[in-house]
Amino acid sequence: MSNFFESVYEYVKKVPEGKVVTYGDVARAIGSPRASRQVGWALHSNPQQGIIPCHRVVFSTGSVCTGFAFGGPEVQKALLEAEGVEVSEDFQIDLSKYRWKYAE
């Protein structure tokens, strides 16, 4: 919408369960394909903590945000698996299958 952050939240919140998106994808979706870092920053700020499924946002490499997750990489892995996303033991996700594309 008006702000960069809000656009990020809107997009992330629209991600369906069982699917994940990369920071780059979100950045590109909102109009700033090079602002992948700000996407992460927007989630870091997390003004709407609780309604933003940050655990569905992963790196372009398919790795989840291990190391700085909200409660721990184990929790994130559990959350993703609970939604139907297959997470490897190394916290990697098959983007070829779970990479969500803007489509109703």
Looking at residue 22, the DSSP 8-state letter turns out to be E
Q: Return the active site residues.
A: 54
CA-to-CA dists, residue 42 to 5, 49, 51, 85, angstroms: 5, 11, 13, 23
Q: By CB under 7 A, is residue 100 in contact with DNA?
A: no
Minimum CB separation of residue 77 from DNA in Å reads: 15
- Give dist(CA 86, CA 104) in Å, integer: 22
- Give dist(CA 103, CA 93) in Å, integer: 20
Check the CA dihedral 27-10-86-90 and report its sign: positive
Minimum CB separation of residue 19 from DNA in Å reads: 15
Judged by beta carbon, residue 36 or residue 87, the one nearer DNA is 36
Total number of residues binding DNA (CB under 7 A)? 28
> Of 38-46, 77-85, 86-94, 96-104, which segment contacts DNA by CB under 7 A?
38-46
Residues at the contact surface with DNA, assessed by CB under 7 A: 3-5, 22-24, 32, 34-41, 43-46, 54, 57, 59-61, 65, 68-70
